[in-house]
Copies of this chain bind each other. A is one copy, B any other.
Amino acid sequence: MSKPADTKIRNMEEFAAVSGLSRPTVSKYFNDPDSVRPSTRSRIEQALEKYDYRPNIFAMNQNRKLTKNVGIVVPYLADPFFAEIARNIEERLIAAGYRPTLYSAHGNPDLEMEILDGLRLLKPAGVLLAPLGRLSDRAEIEKFCRDVPTVLFDSNLDGIGAAFVGSDNRSFVSQTVEYLTRIGEPPAFFEMRTPANPNANKRRLAYLEHMDKLGLSPQVIKIEGEGWSFEEIGRRGAHDLFERKDLRSNAILCSNDRLAIGLLAACYERGIRVGRGPECTLRVASNDDHPFSRFTCPSLTTAAHDYDSVSSHAVAKLLELIENGGRFSDRTEDLFAARLVLRESA
């Protein structure tokens, strides 16, 4: 404990005094340690070790035009997929010297707007936003993006935000459809009737397109259900499907892993054997490589997001945007390809 020096430092003035410098110099140091002479820098850092002073964050932010705050907004944090990607993004932002704050809209569009409104008050340097999608209030989010430098990720809203970084849904679906078709019957496509997320629509279109290209007749299964309890919706939908007996293939491609998790649970409940083996009557594949897809029964064959690329690129884009004064000359959409993860379900 060499820290607690006798004198308590109350503000930058006092800290400047004990380090033998003037306040403006110390202020410069805190805004950019490299903007001062190496010798004075070491004097300050020596004093820092002795007196552990830290600038008042509220006073700093009050006077600076742009703070070091960055908001990360995801649609539904109880989905481990978003928790994982948020973790990844958080780390990178901290490493870049920013103060990320994580928010979840919990599937609620009103809450999504409240979060953005609250974020405004924090004068953030930038925001990384994964919008709810269909339910989002487009007009209000567009307004927000005009005021605050924002990069969208995961789920795109056409034309909104300075840039979009996400996954290439076509790459996801083409790989899974191609694989399933190569080793057996072409798959039916299993999705919610009114998906919350625009990625779902792109995946369906990619499926239809790909089937058409292969000269195969598609079957899209639309299940009922609202909200973010995808697993339960998938489970119920699967039971309905098997009840109706109108599945025209022995392979199913789920729009996303959470639906697949529910579908696999339904299969288990009905004694339907899923997998590649001779005793199996159904193959199931999906998209996302959800953290739990490794532990379904059977383990889930799925197209994996490139977590690292998406998160690092989203952060890079935001930092570029910030350095560029909050504007890009044109809006880019950067998509990353999927990686097919072969497991036991197909």
Interfacial residues, chain A to chain B (CB-CB below 8 A): 54, 56-59, 61-62, 77-80, 83-84, 86-87, 99, 101-104, 106, 118, 121-123, 231-232, 235, 261-262, 264-265, 268, 291-292, 294-299
Contacts and interface: CB of A to CB of B under 8 A. Distances in A.
Given A122-B57, A235-B295, A87 B78 contact: yes
Contact of A268 (B79, B87, B118, B297): B297
A121 B292 CA distance: 36
A117 to B, nearest CB: 9
25 contacts: A56-B121, A57-B122, A77-B77, A77-B83, A77-B86, A78-B80, A78-B84, A78-B87, A78-B291, A79-B80, A87-B104, A99-B118, A102-B102, A231-B294, A231-B295, A232-B295, A235-B295, A261-B292, A265-B294, A265-B295, A265-B297, A265-B299, A268-B298, A292-B292, A297-B297
Nearest to A274: B297
Contacts of A59: 58, 62
Given A78-B87, A80-B80, A87-B104, A296 B294 contact: no
Contacts of A268: 297-298
A294 B295 CA distance: 14
Contacts of A77: 77, 83, 86-87, 102
Nearest first, the 8 A-B pairs at minimum CB distance are A297-B297, A268-B297, A58-B62, A78-B83, A265-B295, A57-B121, A58-B58, A58-B61
A237 to B, nearest CB: 13
Nearest to A83: B78
Contacts of A294: 231-232, 265
Given A78-B80, A231-B295, A235-B295, 19 more contacts: A56-B62, A57-B122, A58-B123, A59-B62, A62-B62, A77-B77, A77-B102, A78-B83, A79-B80, A80-B80, A80-B83, A83-B104, A232-B295, A261-B295, A262-B295, A264-B297, A265-B297, A268-B297, A297-B297
Contacts of A235: 295
A324 to B, nearest CB: 25
A261 B295 CA distance: 7
A292 B231 contact: yes
A80 B291 CA distance: 11
A304 to B, nearest CB: 16
